[in-house]
A = this chain, B = another copy of it.
């Protein structure tokens, strides 16, 4: 990393065309590793995966989240003055082809935010996972929820934005798939990061609340019965609608749906996306899913 890191800073490569060595290793590793084995993986010196270098270490990702929270704050303050007729929460019966938004009536105003990699960065957990060259483990994540409250940091921009939103009289509600059993510790993590208050069952909704499972629509619907939701923020499409998590939704169609009318107009205008290339449903797809067949190219120079 050190040599490549230095080269990345040199003018001759500072164009951003130099791929990180970690990325190159990951590329080679992806193609050669026969299977995931924490035992064998931890035998060699671990490196920081490139996506973690970007999300947790780069000024670029800090800029990206500051930009997202600046737009979030401006939108919420303007909407609080304008009192929109429509919520940004989809109504029951909506489909990706025919979505409909709930009406606001004269309900008090609220915003809904995801927690992990939207409001807080799980630095302690991701460090442990990367340092042990281990993949996601549900049991370890559960222990992280229980004991990691002091090893998180707020996503850049979140503290100031939530403070301004609350000053405008808008209620901040968190909708997370952390476990209800760990509600107190998740509340502690949010408040330690300066993002509170977060009160379980009031302004903090977790996995298992309202309905079983990770679907967030039932919790959004419950919040929408009491509030006019003027903005939502998340790092995964499921933080906005479970329609994007349909099992039969192919990767290219999922991207196309998010980038098409009417959803295209929502981004930065009621729906706010935080970039997270480290984990989640956004990380999937084979070559045919990710690279359109009419945009292929093959280098001829080396042959």
- Of the candidate stretches A37-45, A103-111, A165-173, the one touching chain B is A37-45
Query: Once the chains are docked, how many angstroms separate the CA of A140 from the CA of B211?
Result: 53
Bound: A33/B141 CA distance, A: 27
Residues in chain B near residue A26, CB distance under 8 A? 26-27, 29-30, 49-50
Q: How many copies make up the complex?
A: 2
Q: How far is the CA of A61 from the CA of B51 in the complex (A)?
A: 13
How distant is A159 from chain B, measured CB to nearest CB, in Å?
Answer: 12
Distance between A187 CB and nearest chain B CB, rounded to angstroms:
18
Residues of chain B within 8 A of A57, CB atoms compared: 251-252, 255, 284-285, 289-290
Q: Given A251-B57, A264-B66, A299-B144, A28 and B15 touching (CB < 8 A)? A: no
A75 smallest CB distance to B (angstroms):
10
Expressed in whole angstroms, the Cα–Cα distance for A281 and B60 within the complex equals 9
A138–B40 alpha-carbon span in the complex (Å): 33
A50 to B278, CA, bound (A): 8
> In the complex, A15→B214 CA distance in Å?
6
A271 to chain B, nearest CB (A): 7
A277 at the interface (CB under 8 A from B): yes
* Interface CB pairs A-B, < 8 A, 29: A1-B285, A5-B285, A6-B247, A8-B283, A12-B213, A15-B177, A21-B135, A23-B283, A24-B135, A26-B49, A27-B134, A29-B30, A29-B32, A30-B47, A31-B43, A32-B40, A32-B43, A33-B33, A53-B284, A57-B255, A58-B284, A60-B276, A61-B282, A66-B268, A71-B71, A125-B297, A140-B299, A143-B301, A148-B297
From known contacts A29-B25, A30-B25, infer whether A272 and B67 are also in contact, taking CB-CB under 8 Å. yes
Answer whether residue A101 sits at the interface, using C-beta atoms and an 8 A cutoff: no
CB of A221 within 8 Å of the partner chain: no
Question: Contact: B125 with A19, CB < 8 Å?
Answer: no
> A124 to chain B: which residues have CB within 8 Å?
295-297
**Assuming A297-B124, A297-B148, is B133 touching A50 (CB within 8 A)?**
no
